[in-house]
Chains A and B, each alone.
Chain A
Amino acid sequence: MTIEYHIKGGDFSAAGSASSEVKKTLKQFNISPFLLRRVAIALYEAEMNVVAHACKGLMSVDIRPSCICVVVEDEGPGIEDIEKAMEEGFSTATDEVRQMGFGAGMGLPNIRKNSDGMKLTSTPGTGTRLEFTVNI
């Protein structure tokens, strides 16, 4: 079953609320705490990316008996060089965003680390689509 959440770009004060809601739902399932933690971290990083870089986004979380599939699509500047974006420590975040304690360039690597499959596609100037799966 799929649950959808809207994410507002630039709203740092509300950042984390979508992933927090998903986490609450996932706690009702008999999945291991370790797995829950992985999903929670990946979701939070994905949500933060939309907040920090895009105008708006939609997070859809599909809970299946064997896995949790997350798709995050946003409208925003997109990513010029995906390979570079996946590098640890690389970030295009503005100084403003960095001052708030974000933009350390660990978001995407963290999602990769905490998921069992990740796909990132982007059209520069239009938006980004991130897909990741965590197996149960």
Chain B
Amino acid sequence: MKESSYAHSIQIDPDKCVGCSHCMRVCSTQAIRIADGYARIQSERCIDCGECFRVCPQRAIYARHDGLSSLPSGHCKIALVPSVFVGQFSTEYSATQVLNAVKQIGFDEVFEVEQAVDFMKEAYRSEAETNPLRPLISSYCPAIVRLIQVQYPSLTGQIMRLKAPHDIAALYLRKSKEAEGLDPQKLTIYYVTPCAAKIAAARAPVGETESPIDATVDMTVVYNRAAATLYGRKKKGLRKTCADMDPDSVNWSLSGTEKKYFPGRCLAIDGMDNVIEFLEKLESGHISDIDFLEMRACDQGCAGGVLCPGNRFLAVERLEHRQKRLQKLKEANRGKVKNPLMEYREILHTMSGVSPVYPRAGLLLDQDMEKALIKLQRIERMMTCFPGFDCGACGAPGCRNLAEDIVKNRASISHCVFVQRVMEKNSKLSPDQAFVIIEKIWGKGRLDKYMHKK
């Protein structure tokens, strides 16, 4: 089950990868290079945001997860399902019906993650009172936490030190099952994830030694299994008779709900490029007087997660619909919500914190200041030789990335096709040598088809 042999979820299948470099061009942290005809991910820079996964035309990039095959017999198996999963299905299916379909895959129980949001709202209020730093940055999106670790080291201290709702839900389940007399060793908690970053967060949590999640399952896999059950059934299923969470908790993973629960001036920013633009300004001290930043790597928040099979806008609309329905149920019950998780709020408050987040050394040229300076000088010198087009023919996303790779002994100046032409002209490189270099980057035989063309 829990093997800590990998810290990243995003992987490339070398059997499928053709080295087309689409992924390299979209990577927000410039973590991808092409070598020997394949895309490779530099693990110190990868933040598991999954932007590469979205664009791969070969479907060679995948999110490594634990899967369903590991369902152990004799264990109490609980599936944690986020609300966006329910939003993948048309509103003709009730949430209860969808969650039941998940249960039928082979779980003993199914729990909706957003029930933990009622607790998060309280936790945000106390965090706002006890933590004087401003702006605080939400710790909800693990891709954003990792982005800040790699690219914005000076902002790591401003990340809120709170666990995510699915972790809180898992902690609640552990506590409540223990109270029921279940052996904690016999409890396995699965999280149905909408993205790769949350898999990485369960594998290698930041600010925690161990995640309360035992295993992660790609949402697409669960979707296919649940859809088979649901679509084969004509009869209308059961519906909830009372609200089991605050109505707007259901939208927490989307953009714009979280920020309503932090006092003061708060902004909700979604989409990787938007987040990066904002963090740049924030780091320069350009932006002030903001109290809280809700940030999501995906457009429309988790509804746009890379592992969500459906359309993000439809999912948002369905969750809004569900919020209205929960509102009606709440009103019918004289404004009361029956959320069993909230009975554990006091103990959860003692467990909801995480340790500070530290920067990752993904951008460092050298640990040693003087050596780094020499390397920077080399980079600046090389930059005068490179064209500055960021054509990517060297197997790096930009000229500066190639220069950085060279000073780290990961590439050579002759990888630049423009430098190659100059070297050939000055008889420093033979056409055959240039050919070999291109084959080393883009793969053996890559140029054959052009040679046979007349």
Contacts and interface: CB of A to CB of B under 8 A. Distances in A.
Interface stretch (A33-41, A75-83, A88-96, A123-131): A33-41
Contact of A44 (B157, B284, B373): B284
A37 B63 CA distance: 35
Which of B286, B359, B377 has the most chain A CB atoms inside 10 A of its CB?
Answer: B286
A16 B366 CA distance: 27
Interface residues of B, number: 28
A30 B364 contact: yes
B376 A33 contact: no
A30 B153 contact: no
A44 B285 contact: yes
B365 interface: yes
B156 interface: yes
A136 interface: yes
A65 B373 contact: yes
Contacts of B373: 1, 29, 63-65
Contacts of A36: 153-154
A104 B12 CA distance: 51
Given A37-B154, A65-B370, A25 B376 contact: yes
Contacts of B369: 29-31, 65, 136
B183 interface: no
A13 interface: no
A99 interface: no
Nearest to B404: A28
A124 B182 CA distance: 80
Given A30-B372, A65-B373, A37 B286 contact: no
Given A28-B363, A30-B367, A33-B359, A41 B153 contact: no
A37 B154 CA distance: 6
A60 B369 CA distance: 19
B153 A16 contact: no
Nearest to A66: B369
A130 to B, nearest CB: 17
A43 B361 CA distance: 23
B368 A16 contact: no
B154 A28 contact: no
A34 B156 CA distance: 10
Contact of A16 (B157, B281, B377): B281
Given A23-B284, A44-B284, A34 B376 contact: no
B283 interface: yes
B122 interface: no
B286 A44 contact: yes
B101 to A, nearest CB: 47
Contacts of B359: 33
B280 interface: yes
Interface string B112-155: 00000000000000000000000000000000000000010111
Interface in B336-391: 359, 361, 363-370, 372-373, 376-377, 380
Contact of A29 (B154, B283, B364): B364
Given A34-B154, A40-B154, A63-B373, A29 B365 contact: yes
A58 to B, nearest CB: 17
Contact of B153 (A25, A33, A45, A63): A33
Given A30-B367, A41-B285, 10 more contacts: A3-B380, A23-B284, A25-B376, A30-B368, A33-B153, A33-B359, A36-B153, A37-B285, A44-B285, A45-B285
9 contacts: A1-B380, A16-B286, A20-B280, A25-B376, A33-B155, A33-B157, A37-B285, A40-B284, A63-B373
Interface of A: 1, 3, 16, 19-20, 23, 25, 27-31, 33-34, 36-37, 40-41, 43-45, 63-65, 110, 136
